[in-house]
Amino acid sequence: MKPAPFDYVAPATIDEACAALADAGGGATVIAGGQTLMPLLNLRMSQPFIVVDINNIAELKGVSRTPGAIRVGAMLRQYEVLTHETLQRDLPVLVQAVQHIGHHQTRNRGTVGGSIALGEPAAELPATAVALNATIEARSVSGTRQISAADFYLGPYMNSLQPDELVTGISFPDWPRNHIPLFRELAQRPGDFALVGIVGALVIDAGKISRAGLAWFGMGPTPIKASTAERMLVGQTLESIDPQTIAEEAIADTAPFDDQHASAEYRRTVGKRIFASALRDALKAGETA
Amino acid sequence: MSKHHIEVTINGRRHTADVEARISLSDLLRDNAGYTGVHVGCEHGVCGACTVIVDGLAVRSCLMLAVQANGAQITTVEGLAAEDGTLHPVQQALLEEHGLQCGFCTPGVVMTLAALTGNNAKPSEQQLLGALSGNVCRCTGYQGIRRAAKRLACAETGEHA
């Protein structure tokens, strides 16, 4: 249970990191928080020729405002999200999602960009990015690409990054201050991957839902946009919404699978229940807001 | 395969080493520096036995490369008790509440609680218990560990259970 030998570089700038990735010609792996990569290295499921450590790159840290969005640097650690004032105020659903990632000890190392880039289908952050229509910024020696979260995830642990591209930041479009976060997951133990989860946000204007961004996790090969639910919700008055009916329809967007933890049927059953109950809570919060 | 010269501070003492990139922090601490209080259980981040404090934060030392710790301040369980043997408050609480049996998971539990109660932090009982969800114990049934955590939370906030 020791990693196979590899070379290691820890560049100080994004440009140097991109150059190292380009030089490696696909044989490099990026280490951010390492909370998934280190187990894969220890188990020799991953055997890169070279590990490019991005922990020393100051440009990848921090949170900034850009026109119409909040940009989170790829190396922002998960524990930093939990106490970040801007994120608590303007993107509370991200904070809520991070509370459910792994454990205290892994959140102290794990990063936002690492989790987003990895694309574990049952993880909280990729689904949050999909729900909120985030944009993932990728850099390489040939330039910068903005990839919408909807186009980023191709399958379990598969994304549309090229081997020489590095995720440098994630931009979450602005949501009005009064938006209502929505989050619910079921896991076997705290810190485990979710068996089923739903995440997103609603905006209520004058008693009507004016905007909805929702996504499922643990319900298919990638995080899945809850498009049917979004369509059914937007434009409706709060009193006309029946969460159970929407949950029954919304589940059609999912593609859950059987594994050792739960059957696809169980995931669908629980998915409907947590969707309805999370929506009910969000609507209640909307009434009192 | 690259070798790297690193310098870390372990329990207040400077330690230098030339390490292969693939060496984990847990192996550096145990094999190279001799701090065998760092227990290596699963080596893939699940059990929490190898938890140490790096620059003030509890982390799993099996999920960090030694080379990444270059320049860091590291505390292992050996660094907690006073020179005269007086136990750290976390160790004392676990002792009095029977929070250990075989002792394999104990260093990880101690370091998690020590990180959260250090620097005059005042964690709630909920925060301590939440953090302990990252430490697996196969023999105590957790109740003694929970009582110790409860006592530490109460002690910090000046309340009594």
| Average pLDDT of chain A to the nearest whole number | 96
Instruction: Kindly report each contact of residues A87-93 with a partner whose C-beta sits within 8 Å and lies 24 or more positions away, as own/partner.
Output: A87/A63, A89/A177, A90/A174, A90/A175, A90/A177, A91/A132, A91/A172, A91/A175, A92/A181, A93/A128, A93/A131, A93/A132, A93/A181, A93/A182, A93/A183, A93/A199, A93/A200, A93/A201
The answer to whether B130 contacts chain A (CB < 8 Å) is: yes
| Domain spans of chain B, in order of start | 3-79, 89-157
Q: Are strands A69-73 and A63-66 parallel, antiparallel or unpaired?
A: antiparallel
pLDDT 10s digits, A52-80: 999 999 999 999 999 999 999 999 999 99
How many cross-chain Cβ pairs, A to B, lie less than 8 Å apart?
96
The answer to whether B21 contacts chain A (CB < 8 Å) is: yes
Tokens of A165: 């591209």
**CATH class of the B3-79 domain in this structure:** alpha beta
Strand, helix or coil at A21? helix
Cβ neighbour number for residue A93 with a 10 Å cutoff: 23
**Domain range A58-173, its CATH number among 3.30.910.10, 3.40.190.10, 3.30.465.10, 3.40.640.10:** 3.30.465.10
The answer to whether B22 contacts chain A (CB < 8 Å) is: yes
> What pLDDT is recorded for position A69?
97
Residue of A nearest to B50 (CA): A105
The answer to whether B14 contacts chain A (CB < 8 Å) is: no
Instruction: Assign domain A180-288 to its CATH superfamily.
Output: CO dehydrogenase flavoprotein, C-terminal domain (3.30.390.50)
Q: Nearest CA of chain A to the CA of B147: how many Å? A: 19
- Are B134 and A7 an interchain contact pair (Cβ–Cβ within 8 Å)? no
> What pLDDT is recorded for position B2?
87
3-class secondary structure per residue, B36-102:
CCCCCCCCCCCCCCCEEEECCEEEEHHHCEHHHHCCCEEECHHHCCCCCCCCCHHHHHHHHCCCCCC
> Which residues of chain A have a CB within 8 Å of the CB of B24?
2-3, 38, 42
> Which residues of chain B have a CB within 8 Å of the CB of A189?
133
pLDDT exceeds cutoff 80 at A289: no
Q: Are strands B73-75 and B3-10 parallel, antiparallel or unpaired?
A: parallel
> Which residues of chain B have a CB within 8 Å of the CB of A102?
134
> Which residues of chain B have a CB within 8 Å of the CB of A104?
58, 112, 116, 130-131, 133-134
pLDDT 10s digits, A198-231: 999 999 999 999 999 999 999 999 999 999 999 9
> Which residues of chain B have a CB within 8 Å of the CB of A56?
none
Residue of B nearest to A43 (CA): B44
Q: Nearest CA of chain B to the CA of A139: how many Å? A: 23
ipTM of predicted assembly, 2 dp: 0.94
- Are B22 and A3 an interchain contact pair (Cβ–Cβ within 8 Å)? yes
> What pLDDT is recorded for position B108?
98
pLDDT 10s digits, B72-88: 999 999 999 999 999 99
A104 closest CB neighbour out of B64, B65, B130: B130
Strand partners, A52: A9, A30
Phi/psi for A19 (5° steps) reads: -65, -40
What band does A177 get if pLDDT is binned at 50, 70 and 90? Answer: confident
pLDDT (average), residues A6-13: 98
The answer to whether A190 contacts chain B (CB < 8 Å) is: yes
pLDDT (average), residues A162-189: 95
> What pLDDT is recorded for position B119?
77
> Which residues of chain B have a CB within 8 Å of the CB of A3?
22, 24
> What pLDDT is recorded for position A9?
98
The answer to whether A38 contacts chain B (CB < 8 Å) is: yes
pLDDT (average), residues A256-264: 95
pLDDT 10s digits, A86-117: 999 999 999 999 999 999 999 999 999 999 99
pLDDT 10s digits, B112-140: 999 999 877 889 999 999 999 999 999 98
> What pLDDT is recorded for position A287?
84
> What pLDDT is recorded for position A281?
96
pLDDT (average), residues A234-255: 97
What band does A82 get if pLDDT is binned at 50, 70 and 90? Answer: very high
| Domain spans of chain A, in order of start | 7-53, 58-173, 180-288
**CATH class of the A7-53 domain in this structure:** alpha beta
> Which residues of chain A have a CB within 8 Å of the CB of B134?
102-106, 191
> What pLDDT is recorded for position A71?
98
Question: Got the DSSP string for A94-146?
Answer: HHHHHHTSS-HHHHTT-BHHHHHHH--TT-HHHHHHHHTT-EEEEEETTEEEE
What band does A286 get if pLDDT is binned at 50, 70 and 90? Answer: confident
Instruction: State the CATH architecture for B89-157.
Output: Orthogonal Bundle (1.10)
**Residue labelled with tokens 């953090």:** B131
Give pLDDT < 70 ranges for chain B: 154-161
> What pLDDT is recorded for position B154?
66
